[in-house]
Amino acid sequence: MTENLPTSGFGFHLLGTDPDCAARRSTLLTPHGSVDLPAFMPVGTLGTVKGVELSQLRSTAAQMVLCNTYHLALRPGAELVHSLGGLHRFMGWTGPILTDSGGFQVFSLAERTKVDEQSAKFRSHIDGSLMELSPERAMEIQHLLGSDIAMVLDHVIALPNSDEMIREAAERSIRWAGRCRDTRFPKQAQFGIIQGGLHEGLRISNCEQLIKLDFDGYAVGGLSVGEPPAEMYRVLDFTCPAMPANRPRYLMGVGRPQDLLEAVRRGIDLFDCVMPTRNGRNALAFTDEGTLRMRNEQHRSDDRPIASNCGCAACQRSRGYIRHLFMAKEMLGPILVSIHNLTYYQRILSEARSAIEKGQFLPFFDKKLAQWAA
């Protein structure tokens, strides 16, 4: 049964949960198509997944992409994107688009940022000009961009941090979420973001307060910002059960293939991360046997593909050829390994969906982790 979400045109269909863990198989319905969950969103920060043309991106089986409010507001500007038909027309992507609010830039550009109750004030990393990002402006920019899903503006801080700073940021995030909810636009879903550091009480309280605002989906934010993976998993252990079962659950900015499966096991539905493309540009290829460093001498005369079970554009060539491209500084090398890594991420989650449908997610999970650890 499909449940309509608060925003018209959106729905969520929970197909089932694995009998031995919290892994969920579901579908998110949007005006630009449906997304089979759990799913991974390639990161197209500036309206492009770096080095990957859209036909190549579709070939990886990507269903939805993520773009960034802060970066697009600086260049080329939200008003310009709007005048050119919105993000879908601007970048040529016909599927769903989620836009991050810019909250992560409060964290990643901390030396250029001042945060108070009203807003976050940035110095542009491009020209040093001042930009003010309030909850209301973050929603307005995302409306102009025309994404399907807009993220609320939250206050992200590094971990570890003082209890006082974590509490202050979590409480501000709730107040900002309320202001975002008051600035909603038709036909654009909103996701709330749960903050609270590594503190169980803060996370659950934060989640409960967001649920009262009745968002279309809920994200776990403020993780993968310096804490060990085990701590992130611990936070998911107590946060996921507090999240509504009838709404999509999104873990922001995570991560390694094993992190994705650890989070799926705990009930997360949606992911994004720059890792597959960033690693691809740096000659690191993901495989079931672990990461291959494609510049290594051992690949020089190797006629095997990166992965024998992969049919991507990179795996139609040899490891020796891929290495040659990187050593010759040919741009095709980073492009091909980025395509391979994106394909690998999509295949992992496609296999995870099949395993959940069969009630066999834990055996699949154990097999994958054993392969990567070998």
Active site residues: 100, 272
- What is the residue-wise DSSP string for 312-351? SSGGGS-HHHHHHHHHTT-THHHHHHHHHHHHHHHHHHHH
CB 228 within 8 A of CB 159: no
* Exposed / middle / buried, residue 142 (Cβ in 10 Å: 0-12, 13-18, 19+): buried
How many helices and strands (H and E) does the chain possess?
Answer: 14, 17
Q: Pairing between strand 130-133 and 120-123?
A: antiparallel
State the Cα–Cα distance between residues 315 and 92, nearest whole angstrom. 26
State the Cα–Cα distance between residues 151 and 98, nearest whole angstrom. 8
- Nearest by Cα to 99 from 31, 61, 45: 45
Query: Which amino acid makes up residue 11?
Result: G
